[in-house]
Structure 1
Amino acid sequence: MLDLFFAMALSAAPLTLYLPPVRSLNLFVETMEFFVREITGLHAHRAALLLRVGFRRIISFLFQSSR
């Protein structure tokens, strides 16, 4: 009987007790968007630098081999 009571009590609890308020979710989403923008910005900058170095090496190799 006690098991049935706890099962009914826990199933009747509103979901809002388990979910954070929307205000907290907005701050969390905003923070995650900021981190994603920062990370992708850093990776894009590094990728551009690596492409530039690679292009210079290819051009340098072609120039030296044509001598």
Structure 2
Amino acid sequence: MLQLFFAVAFSAVPLTLYIPPIRRLNLFVETVEETFRQSVVYAVSAYPRVRFILARFFSNFLHLRRFDMLIMS
């Protein structure tokens, strides 16, 4: 049983290298939150423009398609 404990303990040691210490984790979380806030502001301002562009594209596409059908018949 002791051997199993040491095997599990020593296999978990490399995993601790991937987990930052608590004092650095707060900075990481702050950075992620700030990045998220900035991207949300950009996405909210870009969303109406993207909708407008897609609406114009599909409107023109459908209009041309109707025009092609009129010519073919």
Bin the TM-score by the shorter chain: 0.5 to 0.7
| Residue pairs, 1:27-42, within 5 angstroms | 27-42=45-60
Moved >6 Å (runs of 4+): none
Q: What is the percentage of aligned positions where both structures have the same residue?
A: 6
Displacement of 1:38 in angstroms is 0.7
2:33 maps to what in 1? 16
> What number of residue pairs does the alignment pair up?
52
Show CA shifts across 1:21-52 (max 9, x none).
65433221101001011100110111011100
- Matched residues in 2 for 1:25 and 1:41: separation? 23
| CA shift digits 1:3-38 (9 cap, x unpaired) | 5354x232x326431122654332211010010111
For structure 2, which runs of at least 5 residues remain unmatched after alignment? 1-16
Matching residue's letter, 1:37: A
Taking structure 1 as the reference length, the TM-score comes to 0.57
Counterpart in 2 of 1:25?
Answer: 43
- Stretches of structure 1 lacking an aligned partner (at least 5 in a row): 56-67
Q: What is residue 50 of structure 1 aligned with on the other side?
A: 68
